[in-house]
Amino acid sequence: MQNELNIASLQVDIIWENPQANIEKYSAMIDSISDDVDLVILPEMFATGFSMNPASCAETVEGFSISWMQEIAKEKQVAIMGTLAIKENNNFYNRLVFVHPNGETETNNKRHLFSYGGEDKVYTQGEDRIIINYKGWKINPMICYDLRFPVWTRNTNDYDVLIFMANWPKPRINAWDTLLKARAIENMCYTIGVNRVGIDGNNLEYIGHSQTIDMLGNVVSDSVENKEMIFETTLNKKELDKVRNKFRFLEDRDFFEVL
d(CA 105, CA 246): 36
For residues 84 and 97, is the Cβ–Cβ distance under 8 A?
Answer: yes
What does DSSP say about strands 229-236 and 4-11: parallel, antiparallel, or unpaired? antiparallel
Q: Active-site residue among 17, 59, 110, 119?
A: 110
For residues 142 and 132, is the Cβ–Cβ distance under 8 A?
Answer: no
Active site residue 110: yes
Q: Active-site residue among 106, 144, 189, 237?
A: 144
Q: Active-site residue among 17, 25, 44, 189?
A: 44
In one-letter notation, the amino acid at residue 59 is: E
Active site residue 104: no
d(CA 41, CA 2): 19
Active site residue 189: no
Q: Which residues are catalytic?
A: 44, 110, 144
